[in-house]
Amino acid sequence: MAMQLNKVVPFGRSLDEYRQMFALSESDLARNIIGVGDGPASFNAEMHALGKRVVSIDPLFRFSADDIEWRFYAVVDAIIEQVKATPDDWVWTYHRSPEHLRQNRINVLARFIADYEAGKTAGRYVAGELPQLGFRNDQFNLALCSHFLFLYSDHFTYEFHRMAILDMLRVAREVRVFPLMTLMLQPSPYVGPLIEELQALGYMAQIQTVQYQLQRGGNQMLCVKR
């Protein structure tokens, strides 16, 4: 289904946040990585500046830099107000306050926008989407998916999640997904059944607690290996 820009919250995270969310080691960062649903994260841009290659895939990449930037500024203040109105839902350790969060998201967007056109030309930003990524089997070594799967469990079915993770496991031998809770700060009901199903299919699947936390209780990642 074609993505409508006015339904998207184009908030992105930095390389440092990706490192913490996915417990990425230096050797992980040297792997052949696909970022699934990276949106306007600066992960790809910052990795590129370090001489490392990431391919990011997201339906958002059908839009221009101007469109993405326009959409970000159309929603950022309302979202920060929502955050301020729900103080118990957030942990202010990594980001120190709602204003600090806002500034960090602006910085990340600027870094992404500055890299976007060149990255598209170089094939580092690819328009596409789960549950079918359209890359070759084993084209990558590690697939990362942050703030899309599980978070939107109310909008996407269990079957969608199952197909999405199996397709990531087709293109990469290891998949990491963060966080494992929904937008309503509830543990996603899909995580347990999906781990059981993946283990029954012969994959190694385990939950790992990580350093990063912004949504209260959202400090767990799912790691699945072939």
Ligand X SMILES: C[S@@+](CC[C@H](N)C(=O)[O-])C[C@H]1O[C@@H](n2cnc3c(N)ncnc32)[C@H](O)[C@@H]1O
Binding site for ligand X (CB under 6 A): 8-13, 36-39, 41, 58-60, 129-130, 146-148
Least spacing, CB of residue 61 vs ligand X, in Å? 8
Least spacing, CB of residue 12 vs ligand X, in Å? 4
Least spacing, CB of residue 4 vs ligand X, in Å? 11
* Cβ nearer to ligand X, comparing 41 with 198: 41
Distance CA 226, CA 215 (A): 30
Least spacing, CB of residue 118 vs ligand X, in Å? 19
Inter-CA distances, 220 with 11, 144, 151, 204, Å = 20, 14, 12, 16
Which of 183, 163, 168, 166 has the alpha carbon at shortest distance from 37?
A: 168
* Cβ nearer to ligand X, comparing 15 with 198: 15
Q: Name the closest residue to ligand X (Cβ).
A: 39
* Cβ nearer to ligand X, comparing 75 with 204: 75
Residue written as token pair 């283990």: 199
* Cβ nearer to ligand X, comparing 58 with 199: 58
* Cβ nearer to ligand X, comparing 174 with 218: 218
Least spacing, CB of residue 200 vs ligand X, in Å? 25
Report strand pairing: 125-126 vs 54-57.
parallel
Q: What SS3 state is found at 17?
A: helix
* Cβ nearer to ligand X, comparing 139 with 199: 139
Q: What SS3 state is found at 63?
A: coil
Residue 18 in contact with residue 146, Cβ under 8 Å? yes
Distance CA 170, CA 181 (A): 24
Residue 8 in contact with residue 140, Cβ under 8 Å? no
Residue written as token pair 């996915």: 22
Least spacing, CB of residue 202 vs ligand X, in Å? 25
